[in-house]
Amino acid sequence: MSIKSTVMQLLANALHTEALTPLAVQSIIDIAEVCAITSAADIFILASLFAEEESGSISLKLSPPGLSNHLRQLGIKGLKADEIETILNRTENEDIDHLFSGQNCKNISPVISLFKHQGCCHLSFRKHREAGLDIERCLEERFALDDSPVNTETLQDIFHQIFNESSVLHHGKILDLNIEQKIAIALALTKRNLLLTGGPGTGKTSVVVSMLRAFSWCGLPAEQMLVGAPTGRAAQRLTESIRSSIQSIKNPSDKDTALLRIEGQSLHRMLKYSPSFSRFLKNEMNPLDASVVIVDEVSMVDLFLMRSLLKALKRECHLVFVGDRDQLPSVGIGGLLTTWIPNHCKMDFTLPMAEQLQSIIPELPAGIPVNPESRDQLAILNTTFRTKSDILEIAQSIRDGDESMIDGLRGRKINSKDFNNNPINELEGIFWIEAGSGSGDNLHDLLSSVANQIYQDITDISSVDEESPTEPSSQGMRIQQLLNQFRILTVMRQSMSGCEWINEFMAGHIRRQLGLKQATHYFPGMPLMITRNSYQHNLFNGDAGLVIKSRLPSRPGGLCVAFPSGEEAATFPLSGLPAHEPAYAVTVHKSQGSEYDRVLLIMPENPGHPLLTREIIYTALTRARQAVILYGSLESLNQAIRNQASHSSWLKEWNRR
């Protein structure tokens, strides 16, 4: 099999399945030329490494099953099993220069690292290997720190105060946290590090608020507490949740009201990223001035951002990571949460910690799991407080790899013609439209129905006063409601099932229906999403806004964009808006941390698409509050359930010594 035919296969498959980007293929070609690589097997190894990077893994495990899987995903034909065995035999001396057979392979060692972990050889880009080692060193140092000096009696008093004397109210009722949640709070106060994971509706945000209150009652000033998230929008949502919870307390103490000053930040803002220097100004030499750092949506934090964060922490700082291990990993390299908390992982404690927890939480039942190898720094929330719905049940079945739920979907099959009698915005539950199975089942018909029923009704919305930095609360809440009533989610950006093409189709269809010229780029009712942080505008990557009519006398018929923020909405002229794009459809990755009343998930045409995994379907379904429409084949859904995203990693499990 020639180099040329191998590369051509890779390039063709990259464009078809997105297993490799064209840029990755070009990088493979460049490395092959620099190193004078002449073996098709060597090209395959390079391609597998790049494919692992595309999936978020930090290394390529050189094993027959893994490499055979890459042969299938990359679409390479003609490479035999004995050639894979020959490749593996070359890894015995762990010498990167001898793994590849090119004449100048010494040129590859500054870029790629070969090493052995638990008896198996791994291949990694050197920058990923070094970042991972830095993270391991930082965590080992933090795990070795002494426990917090807070004693059991103090914690008992604090728990009594925040859960009995001055409780947070939720929908007018006292927020009663369960045993799992109270364990998480106790661990955060007694240990220096805590990883908190739980699915949607398990009360992670309620735990974060209670943690902040407990730290405040321990005497830590609010100014010493930092709350962050990977994106500005996620940080803003957390800020809103904290403030609404504190404001619900009937008789808040000064310690509680001080927490209203806490403002969530994106991690880039927290670490003071400098575009001029292309680095963070907060680092090991200039650490964060904080006694508590809480990071939400940690599954979205990639390898390099995690390293920068850990290096910027003071040794005595309390660190709390919060996320859902079953959601999609970061877009960047890493997959840290799934590495730290493998599927088999359960919450357990050393005997001294188990005894201390039983003293702090009297209602804690006897016989909690004890393991001498536990670090006592992991809390898992399993109880869901949301009303049990068929969406949540099916999402959990997909998460657990249960294929039997496919049979239940067969009876929920509909087509877009059904929307004539059953409007989309009245749907409840989960439904399936089989792609292209007949009239009314093609994507054009479905998107046209969505455009006609959902978006054309909101083209008359107008702002109140564009010159005011904020709108009346009714306007802000109305815009938020319109933005969250419906969203199309996609697995990819490109192709006819990707968000770029769908956004173009939706905008074009609505323009025609409104009688607008094709050159009219913006019109009222068009949702937009910011794609780059702008601290000048206080707008962040992932923020969604709505194009609305201006009522300013100076700009009759003009347009602006309104971005809701809690009970208010800030408006901006289109001319000065940061980088943005239409947002009728967004990728599932981009939707993380958001919720919508109804969701339409467009699955790829190719059932074997490498991005089609149970994690991406689970994440998409758990974005919906009332209804989900799945568009695609049941074969695609079945393949997704079987395809669990696996991230090759040599990083250690979080809660094991």
Between strands 486-490 and 585-587, the pairing is parallel
Quote the CA–CA distance of 376 and 618 in Å, as a whole number.
Answer: 29
Report which of residues 75 and 579 the model is more confident about.
579
Among residues 353, 381, 409, the one where a domain terminates is: 381
CA-nearest of 631, 619, 626 to 596 is 626
**88-106 pLDDT, tens digit each:** 666 655 556 566 666 666 7
pLDDT of residue 473: 46
Shared-domain flag, residues 188 and 316: yes
- The 10 Å Cβ neighbour count of residue 498 is 18
Residues 276 and 407 in one domain: no
The torsion angles phi and psi of 456, rounded to 5 degrees, stand at -70, -25
- C-alpha span between 236 and 230 (Å, rounded): 11
The residue from 60, 94, 126 where one domain ends is 126
| Helices and strands of the chain, counted as H and E runs | 24, 23
Helix 204-217 to helix 232-247 angle, to the nearest 10 degrees? 60
User: 64-72, long-range: CB within 8 Å, 24+ apart, which pairs?
Assistant: 64/88, 66/648, 70/44, 71/44
- pLDDT above 80 for 207: yes
CA–CA dist 598, 628 (Å, integer): 6
Bridge partners (DSSP) of residue 433 are 631
487 and 610, same domain (yes or no): yes
Same domain, 218 and 264: yes
Report residue 440's pLDDT band, with 50, 70 and 90 as the boundaries. Answer: very low
The pLDDT of residue 469 is above 70: no
Q: Which residue has the tokens 């802000």?
A: 476
Output 56 or 346, whichever has higher pLDDT: 346
340 and 415 inside one domain: no
Q: 374 and 397: one domain?
A: no
Neighbours of 277 (CB within 10 A): 8
Measuring CA to CA, how many Å separate 451 from each of 495, 513, 601? 20, 9, 15
* Domain-located, residue 63: yes
Distance (Å, whole) CA 243 – CA 259:
8
Q: What is the pLDDT at residue 366?
A: 84
pLDDT > 60? residue 390 = yes
Q: Are residues 481 and 591 in the same domain?
A: yes
| Owning domain of residue 439 | 389-465+473-642
Q: Measure the CA–CA gap between 302 and 430, rounded to whole angstroms.
A: 32
Based on the domain organization, do 347 and 494 belong to the same domain?
A: no
Token duo for residue 526: 């068009």
Kindly state whether residues 231 and 373 are assigned to the same domain. yes
pLDDT tens sequence across 126-174:
999 999 999 999 999 999 988 887 888 889 898 888 887 778 877 777 7
Collapsed DSSP state (helix, strand, coil) of residue 546? strand
Residue 132 lies in a domain: no
CA dist 370 and 428 (Å) reads 43
Give the residue-averaged pLDDT of 316-332: 87
Residue 466 has pLDDT above 60, yes or no: no
Cα 522 from Cα 516, distance rounded (Å): 10
- Spatial distance between the Cα atoms of 207 and 618, rounded to a whole number of angstroms: 23
| Alpha-carbon span 466 to 455, nearest angstrom | 22
The distance of Cα 585 from the centroid of its chain, to the nearest Å, equals: 17
In a domain, 271, yes or no: yes
In the structure encoding, which two tokens stand for residue 525, read together? 């009712």
Integer Cα distance of 418 and 115 in angstroms:
57
**What digits encode the pLDDT tens for the residues 479-489?**
888 888 999 99
Neighbours of 351 (CB within 10 A): 11
- Give exposure, 399-413, as e/b (b: 16+ Cβ within 10 Å): beeeeebbeeeeebe
Residue 556's pLDDT band (boundaries 50, 70, 90)?
Answer: low
User: Residue 91 forms beta bridges with which residues?
Assistant: none
Q: Whole-angstrom Cα distance, residue 159 to residue 151?
A: 13
Return all residues near 367 (Cβ < 8 A) that are at least 6 apart. Answer: none
* Residue 643 pLDDT class (50, 70, 90 cuts): confident
**Count of domains observed in the chain:** 3
Residue 307 lies in a domain: yes
Average pLDDT over residues 296-318: 94
CA-closest candidate to residue 108, choices 45, 41, 20, 19: 45
Number of Cβ atoms within 10 Å of the Cβ of 244? 14
| CATH code assigned at 539 | 3.40.50.300
Q: Is residue 654 part of a domain?
A: no
Mean pLDDT of 9-14: 68
242 plus 164 within the same structural domain: yes
Are residues 126 and 112 in contact, defined by beta-carbon separation less than 8 angstroms?
yes
Considering the domain architecture, whether residues 500 and 373 belong to the same structural domain is answered as no
Helix (H, G, I), strand (E, B) or coil at 259: helix
The answer, yes or no, to whether residue 236 has pLDDT greater than 50, is: yes
Nearest to 42 by CA among 3, 68, 94: 3
For residue 141, the tally of other CB atoms under 10 A from its CB is 12
The two tokens of residue 420 are 């004539």
Residue 135 in any domain: the answer is no
The tokens describing 292, both together, are 């508590």
Beta bridge partners of 194: 320
Picking from 77, 97, 126, the residue at the C-terminal end of a domain is: 126
655 found inside a domain: no
Question: How large is the average pLDDT for residues 66-81?
Answer: 69
Rounded CA-CA distance 207/203 in Å is: 6
CA 276 to chain centre: 28
Are 327 and 355 members of one domain? yes
Backbone phi, psi, residue 191, to 5°: -110, 165
Residue 647 lies in a domain: no
